[in-house]
Amino acid sequence: MGAFAFLGDVLPEAAGRVVLTLTSNGFAWGAAALVAGYFVRAARRAPVVATALLAVATAVYYGLVLVVSQRWSWATLNDDSSGDVVWLLSVARAAGFWMLIAVGAGPVLGRLGHAIRNGSRYRSSFAAGLAFGLLAAEGLFQLGRFRWPILDDFVRVIVVSSAATVALSLIVTVILLMRRPACASWWAYLASAVVAGGLSSMLWGLIDIFRSSGFRL
């Protein structure tokens, strides 16, 4: 997953955007952790597997940034001196930040995935709705931050990509809920999805503030 996210950074513009939409955002990484928890049978192992998946993917991505692209070696300071140290610190901060997110989100998504498959009717439905909110958080935040109508072409690309992640979040959670052995409560799913979507989009706004103020990767 980390390798695919890195690939999206280096591919040509159009292809890169498609790959990034599918692999390098909150939805893609969150969905991977959710599905991992869904298919792990032991309740105690589900959060561990989901967290390990996100942690390894994060390590792979930033390892490729350092070793393959060496993006950090391109920087120069205002006095034309090398900015390698500054950008290496930026990479380290970014890697540390997203590793913390992985450690925090992995257990939650792993437990939610396990609950969707193995919980009672209402518990699994609420878990799926909450999972939708977490997966769609970045997309909902992006859709809500721009003034409509959208006239700028670059912003339109962001809006389309964000709408796609929200739709994919809905598809993934609905499919997982439909695949569980017992029936689901769709009203419980809808109610929890609406509440979780609103709260998660605000939470992603805080993440975006920290991300944009502390580093650029």
Q: What is the pLDDT of residues 140-187, one digit of tens each?
A: 998 988 777 777 777 787 888 889 999 999 999 999 999 998 899 999
Q: What are phi and psi of 120, to 5 degrees?
A: -65, 175
Cα(54)–Cα(85) distance, integer angstroms: 27
Please tell me the pTM assigned to this model: 0.81
For residues 134 and 109, is the Cβ–Cβ distance under 8 A?
Answer: yes
The pLDDT of residue 80 is: 53
**Dihedral angle over CA of 212, 21, 6, 40, nearest 10:** 100
43-47, 64-68, 154-158: which is most confident: 43-47
Is the pLDDT assigned to residue 51 strictly greater than 90? yes
What is the DSSP secondary structure assignment for residue 74, as one 8-state letter?
G
The pLDDT of residue 52 is: 96
In three-state form (DSSP H/G/I as H, E/B as E, the rest C), the secondary structure along 85-118 is: HHHHHHHHHHHHHHHHHHHHHHHHHHHHHHHHHH
The pLDDT of residue 168 is: 94
SS3 of residue 42 by DSSP: coil
Which string of DSSP letters, residue by residue, matches 126-188? HHHHHHHHHHTHHHHHHHHHSPSSP--HHHHHHHHHHHHHHHHHHHHHHHHHHHSSS---HHH
Is the pLDDT assigned to residue 196 strictly greater than 70? yes
